[in-house]
Every structure is written in structure tokens, then in C-alpha cells.
Structure 1
Amino acid sequence: MAETLLKVENLKKYFPIKAGVFQRTVGYVKAVDDVSFELKEGETLGFVGESGCGKSTTGRTILRLLDKTDGNVYFEGKDIFSLSRKELRSIRPKMQIIFQDPYSSLNPRMTVGEIIGEALVDHKIVSKGEVKDRVLEALEMCGLAPYHIRRYPHEFSGGQRQRIGIARALVLNPKFIVCDEPVSALDVSIQSQIVNLLCDLQQKFGFSYMFISHDLSVVKHISHRVGVMYLGSLVELAEKHELYKNPLHPYTKALLSAVPIPDPTLKRERIILQGDIPSPANPPSGCKFHTRCPYKKDICSQEVPKFRDVGGGHFVSCHLV
């Protein structure tokens, strides 16, 4: 049984809303609101949900790229937010991120070799004489040629740039990588190459991934478990086959009903959600989904449902289950 690598408890991240001449705080955007989960060594946990539901903010807060509002994050048993700057710096190489946009996440003034090797030099992981060898090794693992080390980002296609971003994360030999929609900006054919590359690297080195995406078919292919987010909160979390075969939350059912089926003879009942997504600055009372839920009852608007295990590691936050 794999050990727990990452533990997130009741994580919250609120952004203040400023107004007036004196820029007083008049409210908060509740981007991440009471999220809890665990991630084991060598596991991929997929995160899905509509745009603005807090997936990327959750990933960045876990890595302490953003400060938390409340809650705890434990990595290898250490509380990330209680570490000093020196202690945090020492574990930074173990926690990496692959950014969503392969065009803006690479410094256009640096060569590929400098981009990938920068952290090796900064953290003094290897001697200066060994940096080039490590960079070439990372390039080869990610399907790039040795001569690419001297080129600049503008000389590459989107797929190649994303491979450079992956190589930059891998060169430090991390244990945990946040993949923030790493294939959303790429063509479909390139997407499959990048996803298969991530799977192969995980089998070889035992990385743990938090894989954030809108594409439910990609998430199903790469993930071991899948979490569904709505308006800053996790509403369902289960092993991938269980979630896709037996979704319990009405929001999860609506998401899965929108996934295209490759067989034109098969028909699926499409669940169309009514109304707009509420503002995260002013979320509804009780269950956040009740304003769009076709099965809502009185209790749904009055009481926040608990995020609980209903059996076999299938967590759901719904009064109707």
C-alpha cells in the first residue's frame, strides 16, 4: 500500500474585493472553500470542473505559490505553511508545476538549456559541470533533441514548448507535480503525445500528479482517482471507474452527460443545467449547487452538505445521497 504523500485539510483561499477611494475590503472571492483530500505516492488525482471553479488556485495554494486563508497542507508529513523560507526552499525541488500556457511560461530571453538548468544551478543540486548533462538527459526523456539546448522558446511549436516545461519540472527529480491544464492549449494529436509522456514518466520514476483539466476523457485516461469541483468546493471524489460508472452528485452527472460518445448509434440523456454559475464572491447558502440542481429539496438551500465517504472511498457532498 502506497504511503500518503500529500494531505490537504479544509483548505481555503479567499481574495479580498477592494472598493472606494481608500480601497477598503468590502467582500471576498471564495476561490477555494474548504477543500480536503489525500494523494498517495505514485498516484494521479484528476481535478475537473467548469472554468473559475478554483482548480488552478487549489494547485497553486498547495504549492504555496499563493498564501492560504485557512486550512492545512501536509507534504511528507510537514506542514507547508509553517515552514520558514529556508525550510520551504529545501523542499521546493520536490514540488513542481507544469503551467497551462506553454507560450507565456517560458522566458523568451533564455535558451532552452538555461531555462531547464536554472533551478539546478539555483538549488545547487549538481555542480556546474554536471548541469549540461542533466539538462540533456531531461530533454531526451521528453522527446527533444540535444541540439535544442541552444535554441530559444520562439523557435518551437506549442507541443515542443510544453515538453520543455515538463523537462524543467522533471530535471529536479520531484515527488509531486501539479499539472495545470498542461494539454489545453495544444492540438489533439499533440495532447495524446504529452499525456502518454506523463504516464510513461510516472511509471518510470513514480511521480505523483495533481492533474487539472476540463477534458473528462483525458482525465479518465491519466488519473487513478478524480475529484469534481464546483464554485471552490469538492463535490465528489472517487476512483475513476467508479466515478464515471456511478456518479452520485447531480453536478457530476451533468458534466459526464456532456462527454461525446464515439459510437454514433449510442444515445445518452443530456442533462442541461439551468441558470448561470453563482458568483464566488456571493455563493448561495446551503449547498452551492442548489440554484441549478433539478432535484433540490428545502434542506439543500438551508444546510451545507458534509463531504463524506458513502462507501469504498467514494466521497460526495449532497443531501440526496
Structure 2
Amino acid sequence: MSEALLEVHDLKKYFPIRGGVFQRTVGHVKAVDGVSFSIKKGEAFGLVGESGCGKSTIGRTILRLNEKTSGQVIYNGTDIHTLNKTDMRKLRPEMQIVFQDPYSSLNPRINVGQAVGEALLAHGLCTKAELRDRISEIFNICGLAPYHINRFPHEFSGGQRQRIGIARALIMNPQFIVADEPVSALDVSIQAQIINLLGDLQESRDLTYLFISHDLSVVEHLCNRIGVMYLGSMVEMASRDELFKNPLHPYTKALLSAVPVPDPTLKRERIVLQGDIPSPAKPPVGCKFHTRCPIATEICKQQVPEYREVGSNHFVACHLV
């Protein structure tokens, strides 16, 4: 693997809360609060955490579907949030997204062939005469039949729709794909097929993934490195093997304890976190996790833990590690 294709430095994305007669800004939801990581070319980087921790917002802000509040997103040496509309449009084919819900991301009024091919025409990457062949080729790669081209989204199952979503991202021949919980809405048997398809595509096309999920067993299968998010911040980051073998942050340990074990004779001790996730509009003082942490001490309630390297490429933000 070569040097980083994508670098994220101290990225913040705050959404304003408006109130009163004049709809003034009365506060902010700190969806992403100072996150940093990098992804090497050809790598699959997993981002995990509970719903509402800011994973999807990171993916969308990296692709500039959301504008950042502060920080940097550097793709292939270019800070993409400094690009004007024309330059950003030129970069779009290289950076694609597979959405969580394949049904709501497809237009019900146009057939799937048009949905997959429209971006090629819009970016001038092929002629109308070549379009059908290009779509048939990508459908074949994604496990769909050429006769599917003229059908509409409601005529497909959930797994087939997600294959269409992957085909739509892939037809632009991208280098980098954000996969935003691409299997969470699917049956378990179909999940395995889609994960295997993404793995095969990564090898055959040398793709780089940011894979967002709340399911650690899915991330373990596909990703080289994993970052764990809690309430807008990164609390731990390590290689896949290191994270599963030696989790250091109490939150990571709790997440891993919830992963089912395939062997029925083995029992994993379940760590059940107490209380609810605090609001990202009013995160707790000190360590954000201290309100639910089973081992929190006085310093955790007062001081924000430093996010630091504790082993070889193993980063953690915890006073007690």
C-alpha cells in the first residue's frame, strides 16, 4: 500500500439549532467534533459506533455533500473544501457513495438503467450509443442481468437494489467509495453476498473504502483498520486484528461484547452500558463517555482525555489506559 489517498484533519461539522420568533441560532449539534484519520490507497477503513455518533456525517462531509464547519479533508493532495464548483465537479467521478437505503436513493420514476447511466452522460464520460453496453457490463459485474436495465426500482428486492446502488457508484470508475451502512437494511444471508461483492470489487479494481457500520462483525470481514466513534469524537483506532484482540477503550470493549459468537458452547461476557447517549447538542464536560462508563473516575468528569498513540498505530482517548 502506498501513502494516504485521503487525510482528514481535525474535522468538525456543527448543525445550527434555531429558535425564537426570528429563528436565531441558539446552539449547535456537534455531529462531528474534531476527528482525524487517514486512509491509504487500496485500504478499507471501517468507522463504527452507535446510531447518532456522527459516522454518516463524516462520510457526507468528506464527499462535500455537507460543507464542513472547520478542519481539512485532503484527497490525493488536494484540500477538497477549497475547490470551486467546476473543479469539484471534475473530481466527483473519483469519489462516490453507496447509500444505506437503496430504495430511497433511487428515483422511482425512472428505470434503473437511466439511474445508473445518467451520471456518465452528465459528466460526458460516454456517448448515448455506448451507454447501454457500459450499463450491461457494470450490471454483470454486480450480479445483475442485462434485462434488468428497463425495470423500475419497485420491481427489485432489497439486495438487488443495493447491487444497483453499487453499480451506480462503480460505473464512474471511482478510486474512493464511501459505503454508508450498505448492508444494515438487508437480510443476514443477503448481507454476506453484498459484503463479498464489495470485497471482490476492492481487489479487482484497487478501490479504497470508507466503510461505515454499527455492526462490528461486518467490519471485521472487510476492513484493514477500524476507528471507533462516540458522540462525534474518535475514541479508539487500530488495525482490525489489534482492535479485536486488544480493545483498550471501555466503549470499544462494550461494542465487542455485543458481537455474536458463532460457537454456541462459548459464552462471551456481555458489557451492558447504563443510561442513554447524551445529546450532541450538549455533550458532557470532560470525557464524553464518562456518563455511561463503568470505570469512570473523577478526572474523567473534568478533563477531556488526550487522543494519543499507545501502541504501534493504536490510538485511544482514555485517561485510564
Q: CA deviation at 1:58?
A: 0.6
Once residues 233 and 175 of structure 1 are traced to their aligned partners in structure 2, the CA distance between those partners, rounded to angstroms, is 26
Residue identity in the other structure for 1:152: F
User: Which runs of structure 1 show a deviation greater than 6 angstroms over 4 or more consecutive aligned residues?
Assistant: none
Once residues 187 and 233 of structure 1 are traced to their aligned partners in structure 2, the CA distance between those partners, rounded to angstroms, is 30
- State which drifts further: 301-310 or 190-199: 301-310
What is residue 313 of structure 2 aligned with on the other side? 313
What is residue 20 of structure 1 aligned with on the other side? 20
Q: CA deviation at 1:150?
A: 1.0
| Aligned alpha-carbon RMSD (Å) | 0.8
Alignment of 1:156-195 (within 5 A): 156-195=156-195
Once residues 103 and 37 of structure 2 are traced to their aligned partners in structure 1, the CA distance between those partners, rounded to angstroms, is 31
TM-score by length of 1: 0.98
- Helix, strand or coil at the partner of 2:102: coil
Once residues 113 and 296 of structure 2 are traced to their aligned partners in structure 1, the CA distance between those partners, rounded to angstroms, is 55
Once residues 254 and 198 of structure 1 are traced to their aligned partners in structure 2, the CA distance between those partners, rounded to angstroms, is 28
Once residues 30 and 244 of structure 2 are traced to their aligned partners in structure 1, the CA distance between those partners, rounded to angstroms, is 28
Q: CA deviation at 1:194?
A: 0.4
Residue identity in the other structure for 2:109: R
Once residues 158 and 273 of structure 2 are traced to their aligned partners in structure 1, the CA distance between those partners, rounded to angstroms, is 34
What is residue 247 of structure 2 aligned with on the other side? 247
| Structure 1 unmatched runs, 5+ | none
What is residue 238 of structure 1 aligned with on the other side? 238
Once residues 159 and 265 of structure 2 are traced to their aligned partners in structure 1, the CA distance between those partners, rounded to angstroms, is 34
Cα-to-partner distance string for 1:166-197 (whole Å, 9 max, x where unaligned): 00000001011000010111111111100000
Cα-to-partner distance string for 1:67-123 (whole Å, 9 max, x where unaligned): 101100000010010000001000000000000001101011111111111110000
Cα-to-partner distance string for 1:14-38 (whole Å, 9 max, x where unaligned): 0111111111111000000000000
- Helix, strand or coil at the partner of 2:159: helix
What is residue 56 of structure 2 aligned with on the other side? 56
- Helix, strand or coil at the partner of 1:107: coil
What is residue 135 of structure 1 aligned with on the other side? 135
TM-score by length of 2: 0.98
- Helix, strand or coil at the partner of 1:38: strand
- Helix, strand or coil at the partner of 1:16: strand
- What is the number of equivalent residue pairs in this alignment? 321
Q: CA deviation at 1:274?
A: 1.3
Residue identity in the other structure for 1:103: Y
- Helix, strand or coil at the partner of 1:61: helix
Once residues 264 and 197 of structure 1 are traced to their aligned partners in structure 2, the CA distance between those partners, rounded to angstroms, is 28
- Helix, strand or coil at the partner of 1:119: helix
| Structure 2 unmatched runs, 5+ | none
- Helix, strand or coil at the partner of 2:241: helix
What is residue 291 of structure 2 aligned with on the other side? 291
- Helix, strand or coil at the partner of 1:310: strand
Cα-to-partner distance string for 1:259-291 (whole Å, 9 max, x where unaligned): 111212212221111111111000011110011
